Amino acid sequence: MKRLIEMENRRSRRKRGIRAKISGTMERPRLTVYKSNLYIYAQAIDDQTGVTIASISNKEKELSNIKSNLDGAGKLGEEMGKRLKEKNIEKLVFDRNGYIFHGKVKALADGIRKAGLVF
């Protein structure tokens, strides 16, 4: 249990450092990622107005068949890219939310890049 608490503390420290450096605008929103054991969530946020522009999760009814693994994260990324393209957003600031840029987080980012968006 102590190890889990230490891991969460390290992630929150990384998260604070990242958020101190990046911020999203309407032209270039911040794309943040959260992952739980069962689901993967991503949302594009305009920090100047505090508004979520678009969000996605495999918890949504139409995306519930996508599993929370590497392939599923890539598919979610492609779908998020489509949603952002519909709102005329081409560039993003990527907020990995304290997670290491590896595995599901990287697969999600690659899926968004595959859809044609730029970080």
The per-residue pLDDT for range 71-83, each reduced to its tens digit, is: 999 999 999 999 9
Residue 119 lies in a domain: no
CB 68 within 8 A of CB 101: no
Per-residue model confidence (pLDDT) at position 43: 97
61 part of a folded domain: yes
Establish if 70 belongs to a structural domain: yes
Q: Is residue 41 within a helix (H) or strand (E), and if so which, with residue range?
A: strand 40-46
Per the domain annotation, does 71 fall within a domain? yes
Contacts of 76 (CB under 8 A, 6+ apart): 40, 42, 56, 57, 58, 63, 66, 108, 111
pTM for this predicted structure: 0.90
Locus of tokens 């309407």: 26
How many independent structural domains does the chain possess? 1
Residue with tokens 């998260």: 15
Phi, psi angle pair for 73, to nearest 5°: -65, -40
pLDDT at 84: 96
Query: Which stretches in the chain have pLDDT values below 50?
Result: none
Residue 69 domain-assigned?
A: yes
- Rg from Cα positions in the chain: 14
Q: Measured between alpha carbons, how far is 114 from 119 in angstroms, rounded to an integer? A: 12
Residue span of the structural domain in which 97 resides: 2-114
CATH number for 26? 3.30.420.100
Q: Is residue 9 part of a domain?
A: yes
